[in-house]
Chains A and B, each alone.
Chain A
Amino acid sequence: MSTNDAVIDFKQMPDAKGHFGQFGGRFVSETLIHALDELAEMYEELKDRPDFREEFDRDLAHYVGRPSPLYFAERLTQKVGGARIYLKREDLNHTGAHKVNNTIGQALLAKHSGKKRVIAETGAGQHGVASATVAARLGLECVVYMGAEDVKRQALNVYRMKLLGATVIPVESGSKTLKDAMNEAMRDWVTNVDDTFYIIGTAAGPHPYPQLVRDFQCVIGREARAQCLEQTGRLPDALVACVGGGSNAIGLFHPFLNDSSVAMYGVEAGGHGVETGRHAAPLSDGIPGILHGNRTYLMEDENGQIIETHSVSAGLDYPGVGPEHSWLKDMGRVSYVPINDDEAMNGFRSLTRVEGIMPALESSHAIAYAEKLAAASDKDDIIIVNLSGRGDKDILTVAEIDGIKV
């Protein structure tokens, strides 16, 4: 562990301008600065107000179904034969993933802003579904941008969004995946900034998004910390979460950052293997740069062009990562590790067969790493894995890998 622990209060970030050390910030067109200022101001004013917090907590309890359980995966623990593995069950949330914690929070902000139209970008479709869900509940118009490739890969979620009343716009530019959907959502926002609220789906983008998405997702870590103390009488030794943009990971990690005995592992998509270059692991194999409104680790070529990413899981298929993770990596507080497509598939099968829980392919990366970590740890150690979502949306992908036509 780094020697900085004693002096750094990890929870005091970002600074007033949204910087986490050299990372984060606000790298956007001038047209958006005013809207971001307004949003930051509104959030500052609301975030500690008791009525706002109560409304958020009430929605999480009665609409999302929180708290989500912390489940001791006894059979998985036995199978691995090492540390005790606990699962934070975000898969049991309404709409099937952690994404809804954030969309509930941002929907409340949209409501306070008085804007009647919301937009979102989505990769796997989970954030799109979670956005369409809260928009339906509040009677807001909802437009979701989704890369044309992902529209094909995630047909089921596209239809779910349509059933919820959202308009899904396939994005044909660039690599036709999540990063291009985000570009297009930014273009919509710049055009309709007066009446549109942009619900960003992960702890990335320009300030104040990385901060507010993190704060909304921190309910995961706060609950897990209390549940672990209650069930085991002590703090866990390690936390494991997958990292796409980084929202489920920062939500679990952040409430533990000042607990220096707790090790943390962010699991990136290793795709075909980091050494092949065909992956989506900017923290393992990228360099700092500027994309989508913030400075962060990116996958890019020697000319600063963003390169295409590869992952079996659409939700991790992104060339950047939230700026706070870049900072935590450089501080040495969190370790970032890759898990390949094959290993993630093994994690998926393992949890499905041993525990009867089918994880999302994103979360399967975390499961696979936790198995490795547990095997190398003491039997008395406790590991908490963020089970960020359920695997229903991925059944067709898994069937295809197995060569089966459903």
Chain B
Amino acid sequence: MNRITSTLNALRAEGRKALVTYIVNGDPTPQTTLDTLHAMVANGADIIELGVPFSDPMAEGPTIQRGHERALEHGVSLKDTFDVVAQFRETNQSTPIVLMGYANPVERMGYKAFAERAAQAGVDGLLTVDLPPEELGDLDAELRAANIENILLIAPTTAKERIAHITASASGFIYYVSLKGVTGAGHLDIDSVAEKVAAIRETTDLPVMVGFGIKDGQTAKAVSAVADGAVVGSALVSLMSDVSSNEIASKVGQKVAEIRQGLDK
């Protein structure tokens, strides 16, 4: 079984909510990422979303854009991201890792090569912001063959008929984008999230994670009360610019612990 499914099944059985944490690989430097991944897990992250740096991160707000830019200054790419995941797997066999990014780096590597190398490195899922189900092409089959989950997004603007269409081709979990906007925006509306998650649940048993406007333990708790878990990104990436690189892992770990506490309250 894929690590994503086993992790989420176990959480469900315990009646707990999932905390999904996001950083960009290589941000602020390639040396900090591995330690930060371990620190996030040690402080309560259940699933890791690892951003693959891209030159044109269209769905990101300013905080995560800077993260991509800092990583690109060090030339960090998709290949380096596989390396980091492989290193992480040397000591952690259980925490799922989802790569999150944009279509072009995956397209450039080739779908088959991507799926094989990702599986080999120990990647469990792929979330590509700019690949709606209609444009997946052969990627879907390649991911399946490599036992990598294809995480799809649903948005506040997704029409009812389309929700069923998306959940039918999704696997792992559903990522619900909590608001109309970019990552790190601040206008979360819990009632509308609850309504939309309920509509998603009518069409699928897959767990639903909510992301985009979650900045602390309180908002994480509020959204996971109506879903299966929360995704936190900008709140962690914002730490990358103001702490010196030998403190990154511990500062990010601290923040994750704080959010975990709020979530479990």
- Identify the A interface with B (CB < 8 A): 17, 25-35, 173-174, 179-180, 183, 186-187, 190-194, 289-293, 295, 298, 300, 302-307
Residues of A close to B135: CB separation below 8 A? 25-27
Given A173-B65, A174-B55, A290-B107, is A187 in contact with B182 using a C-beta cutoff of 8 Å? yes
Q: How far is the CA of A291 from the CA of B53 in the complex (A)?
A: 15
A154 to B124, CA, bound (A): 47
Q: Which of B127-177 contact A (CB under 8 A)?
A: 129-132, 134-135, 152-159, 162, 166, 177
Cβ–Cβ contact B177 & A31, under 8 A: yes
**Interchain CB contact (< 8 A) of A31 among B61, B104, B157:** B157
Interface assignment of B262: CB less than 8 Å from any CB of chain A: no
Most buried by B among A30, A31, A187: A30
14 more CB-based (< 8 A) A-B contacts, given A25-B135, A28-B132: A26-B134, A27-B135, A29-B59, A30-B157, A30-B177, A31-B180, A33-B155, A35-B157, A191-B185, A291-B104, A300-B108, A304-B54, A304-B77, A304-B104
Q: Which residue of chain B has its CB nearest to the CB of A191?
A: B181
Q: How far is the CA of A295 from the CA of B55 in the complex (A)?
A: 16
A177 to chain B, nearest CB (A): 12
Expressed in whole angstroms, the minimum distance between the Cβ of A156 and any Cβ of chain B is: 28
Taken together as a complex, chains A and B put the C-alpha atoms of A17 and B135 apart, in Å, by 10
- How far does the alpha carbon of A200 sit from the alpha carbon of B54 in the complex, in Å? 23
Q: Which 5 A-B residue pairings sit nearest by Cβ, starting from the closest? A: A304-B108, A304-B105, A303-B77, A31-B155, A34-B157
Across-interface contacts of B53 in A (CB, < 8 A)? 305
- Please, how many angstroms separate the alpha-carbon atoms of A31 and B157 in the complex? 6
Q: Are B107 and A289 in contact (CB under 8 A)?
A: yes
Q: Does B72 contact A (CB under 8 A)?
A: yes
In Å, the complex CA distance between A291 and B177 comes to 21
Docked-complex contact B108 and A302, CB < 8 angstroms: yes
**Complex: A289 Cα to B103 Cα, angstroms:** 8
The interface residues of chain A lying within 8 Å CB-to-CB of B180 are 31, 190-194
| A290 engages B59 (CB within 8 Å) | no
Chain A residue with Cβ nearest B131: A27
Please tell me if the beta carbons of A291 and B56 are within 8 angstroms of each other in the complex. yes
- Set of chain A residues within 8 Å of B157, measured between Cβ atoms: 30-35, 193
Residue of A nearest to B75 (CB): A303
Q: Give Cα A395–Cα B256 distance, bound, in whole angstroms.
A: 56
Residue pair B108, A306 in contact (C-beta under 8 Å)? no
User: Considering the complex, which residues of chain B in the window 39-96 have a beta carbon less than 8 Å from any beta carbon of chain A?
Assistant: 53-62, 65, 69, 72, 77-79
Q: What chain B residues lie within 8 Å of A31 (beta carbons)?
A: 155-157, 177, 180
For the complex, is B109 an interface residue (Cβ under 8 Å from A)? yes
Q: How far is the CB of B154 from chain A (nearest CB, A)?
A: 6
Q: How far does the Cβ of A194 sit from chain B's closest Cβ, in whole Å?
A: 7
Chain B proximity of A41: nearest CB distance (Å):
12
Question: B106 within 8 Å of A by Cβ?
Answer: yes
- Can you give 28 contacting A-B residue pairs, CB < 8 Å? A26-B134, A27-B131, A27-B132, A29-B153, A30-B155, A31-B157, A33-B155, A33-B157, A33-B162, A34-B157, A173-B69, A174-B56, A183-B56, A183-B57, A187-B61, A191-B185, A192-B180, A289-B104, A290-B102, A292-B56, A292-B58, A302-B108, A303-B78, A303-B108, A304-B78, A304-B108, A306-B104, A307-B55
In Å, the complex CA distance between A262 and B9 comes to 64
Q: Whole-angstrom distance from the CB of A301 to the nearest CB of chain B?
A: 9
How many angstroms from the CA of A180 to the CA of B68 in the assembled complex?
14
Interface of A is mostly: mixed
> Which B residues are in CB contact (< 8 Å) with A293?
130
Chain A residues lying within 8 Å of B162, measured Cβ to Cβ, are: 33-34
Shortest beta-carbon distance from B238 to chain A in Å: 16
Complex-state Cα separation, A65 to B158, whole angstroms? 42
Determine the chain A residues whose CB is within 8 A of the CB of B62 once the complex forms. Answer: 173
Question: In this complex, which of B129, B130, B154 has the most chain A Cβ atoms within 10 angstroms of its Cβ?
Answer: B130
Q: When A27-B131, A28-B132, A34-B158 are in contact, do A183 and B58 touch as well, CB less than 8 Å?
A: yes
Q: Cα distance A17–B182 when bound, in Å?
A: 25
Residues of B within 8 A of A305 (CB): 53-55, 72, 77, 104-105
- Encode B93-127 as 1/0 by CB contact (under 8 A) with A: 00000000011111111000000000000000000
Q: Verify B103–A290 contact, CB threshold 8 A.
A: yes
- Check B77 against A191 for contact (C-beta < 8 Å): no
Residue from the set B158, B166, B182, B185 with the largest chain A CB neighbour count within 10 Å = B182
| Chain A contacts for B105, CB-based, 8 A | 303-305
In whole angstroms, how far apart are the Cα atoms of A233 and B155 in the complex? 56
Report which of A28, A192, A302, A306 forms a contact with B56, defined as CB distance below 8 A.
Answer: A306
- Whether B69 lies near A34 (C-beta < 8 A) is no
A31 to B53 CA separation, bound complex (whole angstroms)? 21
Residues of A within 8 A of B58 (CB): 29, 183, 186-187, 292
> Which residues from chain B contact A28 at a C-beta distance below 8 Å?
130, 132
Docked-complex contact B181 and A30, CB < 8 angstroms: no
**Closest-CB distance, A175 to chain B (whole angstroms):** 8
Chain B residue contacts of A179, Cβ below 8 A: 56
A33 touches B158 (CB 8 A): yes
A290's partner among B78, B130, B159 (CB-CB below 8 A) is B130
Given the known inter-chain contacts A300-B108, A303-B78, A304-B108, please indicate yes or no for A30 contacting B154, CB distance below 8 A: yes
Q: How far is the CB of A105 from chain B (nearest CB, A)?
A: 25
> How far, in angstroms, from A303 to B107 measured CA to CA in the complex?
10
* Complex CA–CA separation, A12 to B105 (angstroms): 31
Give the chain B neighbours of A32 by CB distance below 8 A. Answer: 157
A29 touches B155 (CB 8 A): yes
Task: Please name all residues of chain B whose beta carbon is closer than 8 Å to the beta carbon of A289 when the two chains form the complex.
Answer: 104, 107-108
**Is there contact, CB below 8 Å, between A33 and B56?**
no
Contacts of A290 in B (CB 8 A): 102-104, 107, 130
Q: How far is the CA of A253 from the CA of B148 in the complex (A)?
A: 44
Q: Whose C-beta in chain A lies nearest to the C-beta of B212?
A: A31
- Which residues of chain B come closer than 8 Å to A27, judged between CB atoms? 103, 130-132, 135
Question: Inside 8 A of B181's CB, which chain A residues have their CB?
Answer: 190-191
